[in-house]
C-alpha cells in the first residue's frame, strides 16, 4: 500500500500537552498562560517577595529588562500560589516598565483558575498531594 517514504511523510497525530488539554475549549486562556506560566515553579529558588523586591530595585535603577524579568518571575510565582491580585500587580508592572502586553491581564481570574487546575493535576508528590 504505502512505501516506506510515504509512511514517513504521513502526518502523525499531535499529542496535546497537559495545558492544551485543560484549555482545549479556551484558546484565549491557553494563549494567556503559555508565555507566563512556569511548568514547575517549585524549582525556582526565590520567593515571590524576593522576586518583587528585585524587580523594584531594577526599576528604580531604570533597568527595564531586569525589572521585567523579575516582575515576570514574581507574576509566575503568584500564578502558582493562586494569588489573582498579585498576578495582576506584577504583570501590570512588567507591562508598564516595558510596554509589553500580557494577555493574562485580560482575565487573570480565569487564568489563575486554569493554572491551579494544571498544577493540582501535574505537580503531585508520590502520595498524590499537590506540592504548592
Domain ranges within the chain, ordered by starting residue: 16-122
List phi, psi (to 5°) of 130.
-70, 135
pLDDT digits (tens, 9 = 90+) for 58-99: 999 999 999 999 999 999 999 999 999 999 999 999 999 999
| Residues 78, 87: Cα–Cα separation, whole Å | 6
Higher per-residue confidence, 4 vs 43: 43
| Residues 35, 5: Cα–Cα separation, whole Å | 37
C-alpha cell of residue 82: 493562586
| Residues 67, 121: Cα–Cα separation, whole Å | 32
Which pLDDT does position 110 carry in this prediction?
96
- Other CB atoms closer than 10 Å to residue 122's CB: what's the count? 14
Confidence of residue 11 (pLDDT cuts 50, 70, 90): low
Burial annotation 69-103 (CB, 10 A radius, 16+ → b, else e): bbbbbbbbbbbbbebbebbbbbbbbbbebbeeebb
Helix, coil or strand: residue 120: helix
Average pLDDT of the chain to the nearest whole number: 88
Amino acid at each position: 500500500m504505502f512505501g516506506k517514504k510515504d509512511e514517513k511523510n504521513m502526518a502523525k497525530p499531535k499529542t496535546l500537552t497537559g495545558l492544551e488539554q485543560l484549555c482545549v475549549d479556551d484558546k484565549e486562556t491557553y494563549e494567556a498562560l503559555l508565555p507566563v506560566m512556569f511548568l514547575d515553579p517549585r524549582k525556582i529558588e526565590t520567593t515571590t517577595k524576593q522576586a518583587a523586591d528585585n524587580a523594584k530595585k531594577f526599576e528604580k535603577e531604570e533597568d527595564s529588562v531586569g525589572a521585567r524579568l523579575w516582575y515576570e518571575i514574581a507574576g509566575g510565582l503568584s500564578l502558582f500560589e493562586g494569588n489573582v491580585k498579585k498576578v495582576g500587580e506584577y504583570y501590570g508592572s512588567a507591562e508598564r516598565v516595558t510596554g509589553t502586553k500580557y494577555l493574562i491581564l485580560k482575565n487573570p481570574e480565569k487564568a489563575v483558575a486554569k493554572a491551579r487546575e494544571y498544577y493540582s493535576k501535574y505537580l503531585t508528590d508520590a502520595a498524590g498531594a499537590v506540592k504548592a
